[in-house]
């Protein structure tokens, strides 16, 4: 995902103040501790779902204003058809986390192989990715992975970690000027095009393959897609710059296939079809 600068960052941090963030960090069980539905992992997240949705909405408004963003036509229809099947599946499988999401899907006319989801559920798929994937099963794997980042609230978690780190840094440095603060933000990577951590990527892979399977898509498309991305030689897709270790991911996804396949079959019995 590529997170754009919205100019809201300092406002958000300033609005809470150092004391509030520290309090949240010091008492995670009361304020900032959240459990990721589906994996049971505990995360620090001082943002509410509503705050994440609002941040996503701001960034999405910029995306919609870009003339390269397509909001109608056959490509958008395809992405929305797959997206709607996935969000319905996510609502069945991860109902609590899906409840606050405001899903929306657009296509960006950009040849780079990429897709992203903002916190709160606004998603985009590049025309380059649509051209790269071999059928809707592979598209569903990438989109399921991106949806999973939003559902598992990885953006909010990362912002929370950064806020805590910057408050600690501020205290350690005895107060810093705005320029210094900006450097710290950059150092902690809340900046343009930052990859998620390895742990977030594995978690999105895991939740994503189950969402795709629940929606009726073939989970075997997951390792196949990663292997194909890795074998592009000079034309390595941009998606891999924020999603490294394709071979390792393919292996981990391979191990999840039997369970994902039974999820798919159980869903098919209940009438779920892509
Ligand atoms: Zn990812």
Q: How many separate domains does the chain show?
A: 1
pLDDT in tens, 138-170: 999 999 999 999 999 998 888 887 777 767 666
Residue 41, SS3?
coil
CA–centroid distance, residue 173 to ligand 1 (Å): 33
Do residues 97 and 153 make contact, with C-beta atoms less than 8 angstroms apart?
A: yes
Two tokens at 268? 């098919």
Whether 183 maps to a domain, the answer reads no
Q: Is 88 exposed, middle or buried (0-12, 13-18, 19+ CB in 10 A)?
A: middle
User: What are the residues whose beta carbon lies below 5 Å from ligand 1 (ion)?
Assistant: 204
201 is catalytic: no
Q: Is residue 255 part of a domain?
A: no
Residue 172 domain-assigned? no
185 in Cβ contact with 162 (< 8 Å): yes
> pLDDT-derived band of residue 173, with 50, 70 and 90 as boundaries?
low
In a domain, 112, yes or no: yes
Q: What is the DSSP letter of 69?
A: E
pLDDT value at residue 124: 95
Q: Kindly state whether residue 73 falls inside one of the protein's structural domains.
A: yes
Is 21 part of any domain?
yes
Q: Is the pLDDT of residue 30 over 50?
A: no
Catalytic residue among 37, 138, 146, 203: 146
Cα(233) to centroid(ligand 1), Å = 21
Q: Which domain, by its residues, includes 14?
A: 9-156
Question: What confidence category does residue 251 fall into, taking pLDDT thresholds of 50, 70 and 90?
Answer: very high
Distance (Å) from CA 77 to ligand 1 centroid: 23
Residue 233 is given by DSSP the state G
Q: State the maximum Cα–Cα separation within the chain, in Å, rounded to a whole number.
A: 62
SS percent in the chain: helix, strand, coil, step 5: 60, 10, 30
Strands 104-108 and 122-126 come out as parallel
pLDDT band at 31 (very low <50, low <70, confident <90, very high): low
Q: How far is the CA of 217 from the centre of ligand 1 (A)?
A: 19
φ, ψ dihedrals at 131, nearest 5°: -75, -30
DSSP alpha helices (H): ranges in 133-273? Answer: 135-151, 154-173, 178-187, 198-214, 221-230, 239-242, 246-269
In a domain, 55, yes or no: yes
Distance 116 CA to ligand 1 centre (A): 8
Mean pLDDT rounded to a whole number for the chain: 82
């Amino acid at each position: 995902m590529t997170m754009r600068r919205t100019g809201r960052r300092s406002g958000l941090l300033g609005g809470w103040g150092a004391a509030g963030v520290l309090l949240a960090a010091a008492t995670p069980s009361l304020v900032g501790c959240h459990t990721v539905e589906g994996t049971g992992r505990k995360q620090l997240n001082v943002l509410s779902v509503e705050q994440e949705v609002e941040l996503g909405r701001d960034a999405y408004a910029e995306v919609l204003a870009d003339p390269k963003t397509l909001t109608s036509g056959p490509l958008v229809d395809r992405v929305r058809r797959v997206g709607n099947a996935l969000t319905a599946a996510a609502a069945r499988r991860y109902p609590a986390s899906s409840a606050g999401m405001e899903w929306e899907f657009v296509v960006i006319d950009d040849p780079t192989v990429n897709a992203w989801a903002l916190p709160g559920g606004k998603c985009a798929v590049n025309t380059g990715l649509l051209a790269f994937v071999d059928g809707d099963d592979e598209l569903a794997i990438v989109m399921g992975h991106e949806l999973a980042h939003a559902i598992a609230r990885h953006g909010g978690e990362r912002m929370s970690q950064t806020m805590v780190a910057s408050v600690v840094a501020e205290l350690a440095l005895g107060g810093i000027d705005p320029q210094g603060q900006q450097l710290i933000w950059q150092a902690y990577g809340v900046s343009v095009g930052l990859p998620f951590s390895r742990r977030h990527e594995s978690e999105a892979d895991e939740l994503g393959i189950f969402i795709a399977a629940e929606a009726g898509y073939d989970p075997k498309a997951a390792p196949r897609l990663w292997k194909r991305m890795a074998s592009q030689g000079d034309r390595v897709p941009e998606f891999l710059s924020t999603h490294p270790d394709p071979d390792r991911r393919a292996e981990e996804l391979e191990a999840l296939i039997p369970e994902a396949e039974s999820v798919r079959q159980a869903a098919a019995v209940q009438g779920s079809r892509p």
